[in-house]
Structures are given as C-alpha cells and as structure tokens.
Chains A and B, each alone.
Chain A
C-alpha cells in the first residue's frame, strides 16, 4: 500500500511540475508591434494573451489590448507598465528599441517583414509553436498551401504571361518589386511584374506607360485611389485601359495579410485578371 501511494504522489508531483514548466513556456502577456502580428494572434485564437498593440492594429474588441505604439515609435514606459513576458517586433520597429527591451531582460521575438508566401506561413507556424497552438497553425498553413495549389492549377494557360502593374502607393508612384510577398500575388496568378527589375519601389509614370501592362491593380484607398484610376484612364492607349482592367484591391489584404487573407486576395486577383 505505502509504495503505491508514494508512486502516485511522485507521478502527481511530476505531472504538476511538467505542466507548470510547460505552461511557463507559453507567454501570457504579449505585446505586438505590428498589425500583421496582431492579426495572426487573432487567427490562432490567442487574443487572450495579447496585452499591448500598435495604434494601427485592428482589435476586435477595444479592451483586448492597450495601444502602446504608433507605426514606428514605441512608448517604452507604457510597454513596461504592462509587464509583458514577450514582445513581438517587426522590421518596422526601431532596432534601438529592440535593444532596450533586451537589456531589460524581456523576451523579444523578431519577425521581419515577410518576403514571400512561404515566409508568411513559416512565421505563422513559429508563432503557433510559441503560443502553444502549433496544431492550429499547421492546420491553417496546410489548408492555405492546398488552396494556393488549387488556385494555380485552375489558371487558364496563356501564350505569354499577362503583364501586371501592382501599384501600392501614389505621390510618389510606388510599385510592388521583387522579393516581396506581394510579388507572390503576381507570380501565383501567372503574371509578370513590369517592375521586377527595380531595386526600390518608386517608379516613373513613363516607365509604366512604356511597359504597357495588361492589368493594373491599385492598392490605395479612398479618394487617392479613385484619382489614380482616373489618371490611368486618361491614357487611352494603354492596354489595361482599353480592356478595362484597372482594379482596386483592399489595402488590408495586400499590405499586411495573414495566410487566409492572402488567399482571399489571390482569388480576387486571379478572377480580375482572367475573367
């Protein structure tokens, strides 16, 4: 009798220790320093772990987290007051700020700007592992990759890939360039980016005119987007104008998407190009 009791106690204690240390690995108070990170946290149903975010993060409920930063500037004191055990930073965060947090012995996870769809998925999986939602993350990623494959398979064959101009800024005119996840939109849709050789995104209107793209996507919102469309339409001899292929894309989907938002955008883009 006594030995069995001792064994059960040991097991019980081992179980306790294991679960406590296991739980300690998952951060309980997270500060997100980029909108896409916040979106991913929601995606992984871990918003209960979120305590701080930026002013541009979209919160489903304003009480979910406190605003502690603008797009590029972090209020360090506010962050410290929240007693976070993990800060997730992006390439937009000032490296000095990251250093400061490290000096204060706060855990910082650095997720640089995603350069491709693959990166996006990898980031989600990294986040999943840390938040103890590995299973969910893997599930989402697998589903997304499957969907991408199926979308790509359904693209009608063309004699030559359609030339695309993907505008993400106006005044100055800004294009999507290579080595960004946005180019994956174009690549997966079977198109060719007219700005693939550019090293920085600012492009002259002349270059676009001379390249004469088949489709123009505009990812800017509101009045500016409308005016850009009008501007393009004034060049009556552009292929995109003649074929009425100038489209708007929601900025939320194209500038800081999660994998599922990426899929939504991709579907829209494919539909717009080939209908």
Chain B
C-alpha cells in the first residue's frame, strides 16, 4: 500500500529506468550490425572524435544513427497514438491500425506505386501519399461517425474498423493488378522499414513526435477524467467534445506521419500501453511519457533484430513487431488469467 508521495516516487523511478533502457537500446543498436563496433568506439564516433573516413564512421553516422533516431521517433509516436486512442475510446484494443489510419496510408502508397508516380515524380511521393491517405481516412471516419455535433465513439470505432477492411481489400485489388516488381515494393512498404535516406525527414518526424508528447501531456488530466465516461468527465468541467476531437486529430497526425515515413508498423500502439498499464496503472500523467520512452526502445530493438537476425539479409520491421508483440501479448493475457 503506497501513499501519494510514494506513488510519485515510483513514477520517477520508472521514468529513470525507462530512460536507461532507451539509452542502452540505442548503444546496443549502434554497435550491432554487419560489423560489431565496440562501445568505446561508438561513443567516440557519436561525439565527433574518431576516424571520420573509416567504415565504422560511415556505418554509425550514415546508417545506424538515422535508423535509431527514426526508431525512437516512430516508436514513441506510435505508442503515444495508441495510448491516446485507448483513452478516448476507453478500450485497450484500440490503436491506429484498428482505426484504419494505417490502412488508409497503405492504400495511398499502393496507389502511387501502381501508377508509378514515384518513378515520375520522385520518391517523396510515397510518404506524401501515405500521409494524404491517412488524413483522408481520418476525415472520412470522423465525418461518418459524428452525429449532431456530438462525437459518437462507438460509431467512430466501427467506422474505423470497416474503413480499414475496405482499404485492405482495395489494396488487394491494386496488388492483383500490378506487376511483380511493384508488388514487391508494396508488400515491403506495408511491412515497415526504418531505412530513410532523407535526414531532414527523420528530424521532422522526431520534432512532430516530441511535440506531440508535450502537447498530449497537457491533456493528461482530461484523459484521466475520460476514464469515468464522457458524461461524467463533463460533470467535472472537462469539455469532452473539444478534448476528444483535438486528441483524435493529434493521435491521427502522429500515426499518419509514422506510416508515411516508415511504412506500416503494427502492434506498437497496442502492446506498449498494455504492458505499462500492468506496471504503472492507468494514470495518464505517467502513462503518456512512459509509453513514449518504452515505445522508442522497443522499436529500436526490433529494428536491431530485423537487420541482424538473418544477416546479411534484412527482415521488414513489421514482421518483428508482429511476432514479438503478439507473443508478449499472449504471455500477458495468460499470466492475467492465472492471477484471476
């Protein structure tokens, strides 16, 4: 039984541990790959000393570091998006994928690949298409499910699921019509990859991700109040409609950007919040930040596994998050059963 002060103390401990895990994952990811680079050298190269012309420097600065940064940004944003959506819907099974956001993005990208637009207009068409696809879905879901100004959450959830199904079916059609080369590209994209050559895109994602985190923290108490239900939250003075709309758009923006830059990486928004709830409870003041940190670490480690496990070949990261995420989920479900 813990007193209030002890609870906040536990929160700080948890945050410190998560930061440590993040740092450890980062260092591990930087030192592993085709070539193993020792920790000391990794640190030297990060801070700018060390042989800039060496293979190691190339590997770390041009390949591994960008992937790690993107992994933190995307992992953090996806977990955050999942937590927020779960708070709005009061349902732990909700995440960007189940709401059709990832589906819409994939559809947009598949469209571009099949029309060969990225060949004519450049590779940036893919992230743009993903983002537009995700945005369209968000508007569609929102439009279809808002009644008389009041946002019906059940309708949103159902609409999102249906839209996601329609998007996958449409994608299947596109895939059936396309030739083998494009097929490969579409499939690989839908399974996710942290390989992104444009470093400014990576920084952009990082900025959006962290800004999203800070912004969402201001809504921590609103999310806490929403746990009681929408009407009861209004009794406590929370402007539920406004809060719901704002948070929904924030969650969609975060997810849309991630899908646009890194492809479809599922499960992160589902697993990470779920794990953390078992450890720190459902208070959003701790849940938001810790989801971000743990999500970042998880994705960095998953990427590490994806690019080393069948070296020198590479697996798509979505496969890894799916397997690891799914396994952890099953383990947790079973241990919960045992407790009961």
Contact = CB atoms under 8 A, between A and B. Distances in A.
A/B contact in complex, CB under 8 angstroms: yes
Interface of A: 55-56, 70-73, 92, 169, 171-173, 195, 198, 200, 202-207, 209-210, 212, 221-224, 227, 230-231, 234-235, 237-238
Contacts of B55: 209-210, 212, 237
Given A223-B121, A224-B123, A171 B189 contact: yes
Interface stretch (B74-82, B203-211, B218-226, B307-315): B307-315
B33 interface: yes
Which size class do B's interface residues fall under? 35 or more
B123 A198 contact: no
Contacts of A238: 58
Given A71-B179, A72-B180, A169-B181, A205 B63 contact: yes
Contact of B176 (A73, A202, A204, A210): A73
Contacts of B154: none
B6 interface: no
Contacts of A230: 197
B307 to A, nearest CB: 6
A203 B59 contact: no
Interface in B35-68: 35, 53-55, 58-59, 62-64
A198 B184 contact: no
Query: Which of B62, B63, B188, B313 has the most chain A CB atoms closer than 10 A to its own CB?
Result: B313
Nearest to A204: B314
Interface of B: 33-35, 53-55, 58-59, 62-64, 116, 118-123, 176-177, 179-181, 184-185, 188-189, 193, 195, 197, 307, 311-314, 316
26 contacts: A55-B179, A72-B180, A92-B180, A171-B188, A171-B189, A172-B188, A172-B314, A173-B314, A202-B313, A203-B314, A204-B34, A204-B307, A206-B312, A207-B34, A209-B34, A209-B63, A210-B55, A221-B119, A222-B120, A223-B118, A223-B123, A224-B118, A227-B197, A235-B58, A237-B55, A237-B58
- Majority secondary structure, A binding face: loop
B105 to A, nearest CB: 16
B35 A206 contact: yes
Nearest to B313: A202
Contacts of B121: 223
Contact of B314 (A73, A169, A202): A202
A38 to B, nearest CB: 15
A89 to B, nearest CB: 15
Contacts of B189: 171
B62 A210 contact: no
Contacts of B180: 71-72, 92
B122 to A, nearest CB: 5
A92 B184 CA distance: 14
Given A198-B313, A206-B307, A207-B311, A223 B59 contact: no
Nearest to A194: B312
